[in-house]
Amino acid sequence: MNVATNLALLLGSLTLTCWIVAGAVAVLGTGDELGRHDKQRVSELVSLGLNLVGFVCAVAMAAILLAA
């Protein structure tokens, strides 16, 4: 395997990891208790950030595979 394929595999696994962790953070941040709005807001921001990182990694992986 060449370097481009290895880099694409790395980015693919990073994408999957980001999306799994973002889902876990979203589930853990859905507390129904009063006074937990800050926790929910932080959870939303972290989940959004991880989803964006995952999307960027997926696009980079596709670009590397198409260029190779």
Q: Which residues contact 21 (CB under 8 A, 6 or more apart)?
A: 50
Could you report the average pLDDT of every consecutive run of 10 residues in the chain (68 residues)? Answer: 90 95 86 68 90 95 91
Cα angle, residue 57 at apex, residues 11 and 52 outer, rounded to 5°: 145
pLDDT of residue 12: 94
For the chain, give every domain's residue range. 3-67
Alpha carbon distance, N-terminus to C-terminus of the chain: 12
34 CB neighbour count, 10 Å cutoff: 6
Distance CA(68)–CA(50), nearest Å, equals 27
pTM (2 decimals)? 0.82
